[in-house]
Amino acid sequence: MPKSYKHNAISSLVYRAIKICSTHKSLHEEFKFIRQLGTNNGYPMNYVDSIIRRQLDLLYNPPQPIPPTLKTETVVMRVPYFGLPSQTYGKRLSAMISKQYPLKQIRIVYDVKDRIGTGFTTKDKIPTLIKSGVVYKAECSQCNQSYIGKTYRHLKTRINEHLSEQTKSLPPTGHTIHPVLKRNKPSTQSFTPAKTHMTRSRTGKLPKPIHDFTKDYLQDYLKDLFENVVLVDKKGETTTPKSSIAKHYYATGHKFISDDFKILTTEQHRYRLLVKESILIRKQNPVLNHTDRSVPLYVYPNGVNPITTKTET
């Protein structure tokens, strides 16, 4: 690592302590912490104290303003860092340019390949089932026939849709058929009770009910009703499969599970996702796909490959 990086690491901590601490006591405690931190990381104590003195001098003894001169331009040059040879190269390059172009101020930046992100990632890894914008492949574990599809939503949502439609494709077993009563048309015979001329005001009694005729009529009606009972299986009706996976299950009985799905590639742009799906369908040629592409693929003009096209001689 360049020496300037090590110097700036301590200098930034000292500068931060001077700007944040509001009392001399807290500033003294912060300097003690910085010295201990530098010692733990291999910095000499004298080197840390020199940086602290320099920052305090800039605060309490600011430099005199420089009189205006000709305008200079700062040029930043990035040099790959390979140790001492890179530092020597940077110094020679800066001296040569300053000699040839006095109004150019050269600033050498050493480019280090190792970054903080190369050692670890700062974000949690997204679980496979909640990834979106993916091209997936479903392969039957019994006959090895496969299907390639894409989804813009979470993969788990699309898998659940395939599996739920698959379970609806075949009639379920073990359910009970419930009887449903279907009534025939009512009989054309009409019942008209006999008229009586007895009144309560004259006799003081209610009219005599005609139980015999009504009872016979009800018995005939109920007998005719129960003789025409039809058993209807409401749960036995199957839905017509629409997806390729459901049609495969309907035809062969081979059932897909969630472990049969895997991600082939990811893409957040919708049209590029269709292109990648079409390329993978063309390349792998899955049996369960009914089409060979999702969007037109024009790699060469007029769809002709000049490499594979034979010319007549």
Q: Report the pLDDT value the prediction gives residue 300, as an integer from 0 to 100.
A: 44
Q: Residue 203 has what pLDDT? A: 53
What is the C-alpha to C-alpha distance for residues 231 and 246, in angstroms, rounded to an integer? 29
Q: Residue 305's pLDDT is what?
A: 44
Instruction: Give the pLDDT of residue 178.
Output: 46
Q: Which of 124, 179, 159 is nearest to 259 (CA)?
A: 159
CB 34 within 8 A of CB 16: no
Confidence of residue 36 (pLDDT cuts 50, 70, 90): very high
This prediction has a pTM of: 0.43
> Confidence band (pLDDT; 50, 70, 90) for 69?
low
pLDDT one-digit tens code per residue, 245-281:
888 888 888 889 999 999 999 999 999 999 999 999 9
Over residues 166-179, the pLDDT tens digits come to: 887 664 444 444 44
Question: Among 161-165, 191-195, 237-241, which stretch is predicted with the lowest mean pLDDT?
Answer: 191-195
Residue 140 banded pLDDT, cuts 50, 70, 90: very high
Domain boundaries, the chain: 3-60, 73-113, 128-170+238-296, 176-185+211-237
The residue ranking higher by pLDDT, 57 or 188, is 57
251 three-class SS: helix
Do the beta carbons of residue 83 and residue 90 sit within 8 Å? Answer: no
pLDDT at residue 190 above 70? no
Tokens standing for residue 231? 């058993």
Domain 128-170+238-296, CATH class in plain words: alpha beta
Residues 6+ positions from 177 with CB-CB distance below 8 Å: 231, 232, 233, 236
Average pLDDT over the chain, rounded to an integer: 78
Backbone phi, psi, residue 8, to 5°: -70, -30
Confidence band, pLDDT 50/70/90 cuts, at residue 71? confident
Q: Is the pLDDT of residue 201 over 90?
A: no
pLDDT of 192 above 70 = no
Is the model's pLDDT at 206 over the cut of 70?
A: no
Q: Are strands 132-139 and 146-154 parallel, antiparallel or unpaired?
A: antiparallel
Q: Does residue 244 surpass a pLDDT of 50?
A: yes
